[in-house]
A = this chain, B = another copy of it.
Amino acid sequence: MPKKNHNKNGSVTLKEVAAELGVSAMTVSRAVNNSPNVDVKTKKRILAKVKEMGYTPNLVAKSLVSSKTFTVGVVIPEISHSFFPDVVRGIEEVLDSKEYQILLTNTSDNFEKEKKVIQALKSKRVDGILISSSLTTDDFSFYEELINSGIPIVFFDRCIENLGASCIKVNDQAATQQITEHLIKLGYKKIGYLSGPKNVSIGKARFDGFNMAMIKNGLAIDEKLIVENGYNEKGGYDAMNELLMLPEKDRPRAIVAVNDPVAFGAMDAIKEANLRIPEDIAIVGFTNDIRAKLVTPPLTTVNQPAYDVGKKAASKLIATIQEKGDLVENVELITSLVIRESCGSQLKN
């Protein structure tokens, strides 16, 4: 005779435990949840039976009653791009300590997919969502509606600002300005810029930083030296090859890349053209990717504290979830310049 410990799903319920003991489901519930008003002896009996039968509380049912899932959605453009795993690590660290878990989604830098996964996260009733957005248009209506719907949202890295959600990122504009000015101080004048889509927040902020540096230092911004492509290696490779097709006299002597992967792609293109870095073309990036110090020559870049971005974003989201009156803030974490060899060290011209 098979034991009747299980319902159709193979999982034991409160009611089944209760039946075995001749008590009510409520009493079992109270025992399991450490409620005060349970007789010590019945509690003992119950917990023993719970263990024996392998009862596991059904959080789905609990969530239906409480409207809490203890699950947070995380929306990321590309989990295999080295910045994001470290962010996720920071997020996980904080959420785990609060007994939350991560529903991880990858958008492949595709806004349509981003909308789709966020819809799914809403359906699953996550308690909040952390988003690094791939939106590349000026149409913010999707996020306006999302935020107005009341679900706690915190953006990180790639933010959609001023819509009522907090945002955790780094000082993208100032840092890009700073690293561009580093090139300028070294004597470079013809500086090109490899951009990602500028409607992504970091795209605009970093580009503004580049322009600011050029303008403040009285340098000409040559539209031909500004190329926009994707945020990955291939984007950098293709963009750089476009610049390399310019007549030699028009080519930039230095390159500011919107991030390290783009810089890596560009370095490959430069080397394939049999040009030297930094002697022929200097280059700087942004991220301090794990590979930045390993490439040849090592890449001058901006160190972006990925782990801290993740921790801060998760903390902010938890605060937003728990205290309804929690402030909306834009937090900028501080970066630092990492000078290596790809930018050269002597005055040039």
Binding site for B on A (CB under 8 A): 8-11, 54, 56-61, 63-64, 67, 69, 71, 74, 79-80, 82, 84-86, 88-89, 92, 96, 99, 101-106, 117, 119-125, 145, 149-151, 290-291, 294-296
Contact = CB atoms under 8 A, between A and B. Distances in A.
Contact of A60 (B63, B96, B102, B105): B63
27 contacts: A8-B67, A9-B67, A10-B149, A10-B150, A54-B145, A58-B64, A59-B124, A59-B125, A60-B124, A60-B125, A71-B103, A79-B88, A80-B88, A80-B89, A82-B82, A85-B85, A89-B106, A92-B104, A92-B105, A101-B105, A101-B117, A101-B120, A101-B121, A102-B103, A103-B104, A290-B290, A294-B296
A56 B122 CA distance: 7
A79 B85 contact: yes
A66 to B, nearest CB: 10
A79 B92 contact: yes
Contacts of A121: 101
Leading 10 A-B pairs by shortest Cβ distance:
A294-B294, A10-B150, A104-B104, A59-B123, A9-B67, A80-B85, A80-B89, A85-B85, A92-B106, A102-B104
Contacts of A59: 123-125
Contacts of A86: 80
Contacts of A295: 294
A56 B124 CA distance: 10
Nearest to A119: B56
A117 to B, nearest CB: 8
A89 B74 CA distance: 14
B67 A64 contact: no
Contacts of A67: 8-9
A96 B110 CA distance: 14
A102 B105 contact: yes
Contact of A57 (B79, B84, B123): B123
Contacts of A8: 67
Contacts of A11: 125
Given A79-B88, A92-B104, A99-B120, 13 more contacts: A60-B60, A60-B63, A74-B104, A84-B85, A88-B106, A89-B106, A101-B105, A101-B120, A101-B121, A103-B104, A290-B290, A291-B291, A294-B295
Contacts of A149: 10, 54
Contacts of A82: 82, 85, 290
A60 B294 CA distance: 47
A67 B10 CA distance: 10
Contacts of A103: 71, 101-104
A123 B79 contact: no
A298 to B, nearest CB: 10
A100 to B, nearest CB: 10
Nearest to A292: B294
Contacts of A99: 120
A96 B76 CA distance: 14
Contacts of A79: 85, 88-89, 92
